[in-house]
A = this chain, B = another copy of it.
């Protein structure tokens, strides 16, 4: 069986393991004060073109989301998210567990727009009987494979500023977004247009690791306390620093993501050629083709993937995810199988 189930089925990019080996016996300070972490932070500041930014490394997406949100919001404030947003759909109430409502918006494509936020503000007007919306949470790429265009992000950004709302981008799959064929954003844009965003490592070549960036350091001057309090400050912070150093050296991060996208697009094109529609217009490493149930069963004998949801009595959307580690030979084999399968 070959798995297209997710983008964390393998270990780490070999460069990372190699570097862990090489640096293993260097004695380093703990808790993120090691030389690798400090160097990785400087490197990222360069990449985002924001020397003032403040950066921290965490272990995973849920951890990052919950600590950032809990740190920034006051007790009566809430965060707005697409209903498909990871903080609402996949994190076991992590945000509510810190005391804050996630206000959800139904969307067609997993993306929030100014009109969505306006509508929420209107619905949450009856102070003090309602929570105060204070943050907008978006994912790029989204949980269903779509990405934000620069103009869309700029509009959201301007609106949030005008309403005194934080704009926070979940970048668990940021590499995939920024290397998509239809992308026109770069890291510096994100630093200019959001209040905070994170650069996901776990789903793009690291063993674990997300880099949260506060674009204005005055925003979270005591975030270190929050990290420690929520169990996110690794004694051996070097483990995270070393990985981000490797990922951003020679832009490995982007070439890994580009590979993942290419593999997904290759399958996507094959699907289209076979005449299969897709649930969402993904240009990244998650695709949601709609297949006859019989085809799904047969593919499932050789390949692992999620059956996302039934579309009608005879068809369902499946989710295929590729990654930095996806073997192109397996992708080609999958496509050959697809082409020859009969319902």
Which residues of A are at the interface with B, using a C-beta cutoff of 8 A?
2-3, 5-6, 8-12, 14, 17, 20-21, 23-30, 59-60, 62-67, 70-71, 74-76, 78, 89-94, 96-102, 126-132, 202-203, 207-208, 222, 224-236, 238-239, 325
Instruction: List chain B residues, Cβ under 8 A from A64.
Output: 231
- Knowing A222-B74, A226-B76, A235-B208 touch, does A11 contact B30 (C-beta < 8 A)? no
- Knowing A129-B228, A229-B76 touch, does A235 contact B90 (C-beta < 8 A)? no
Q: Which of B2, B91, B203 contacts A228 (CB 8 A)?
A: B91
Instruction: List chain B residues, Cβ under 8 A from A26.
Output: 10-11
Question: CB-nearest residue of chain B relative to A23?
Answer: B11
The 8 nearest A-B residue pairs measured at CB? A63-B231, A76-B225, A11-B24, A128-B224, A92-B229, A93-B131, A8-B235, A9-B27
Q: How far is the CB of A142 from chain B (nearest CB, A)?
A: 17
- Knowing A28-B9, A127-B224 touch, does A96 contact B96 (C-beta < 8 A)? yes
In the complex, are the beta carbons of B96 and A100 less than 8 A apart? yes
Question: CB-nearest residue of chain B relative to A11?
Answer: B24
In the complex, are the beta carbons of B132 and A222 less than 8 A apart? yes
In the complex, are the beta carbons of B92 and A128 less than 8 A apart? yes
In the complex, are the beta carbons of A94 and B230 less than 8 A apart? yes
Instruction: List chain B residues, Cβ under 8 A from A202.
Output: 234-236
Complex CA distance for A178 and B143, rounded to whole angstroms: 46
Known: A14-B24, A98-B99. 7 other contacts (CB 8 A): A5-B29, A60-B231, A90-B130, A91-B129, A92-B225, A92-B229, A207-B236
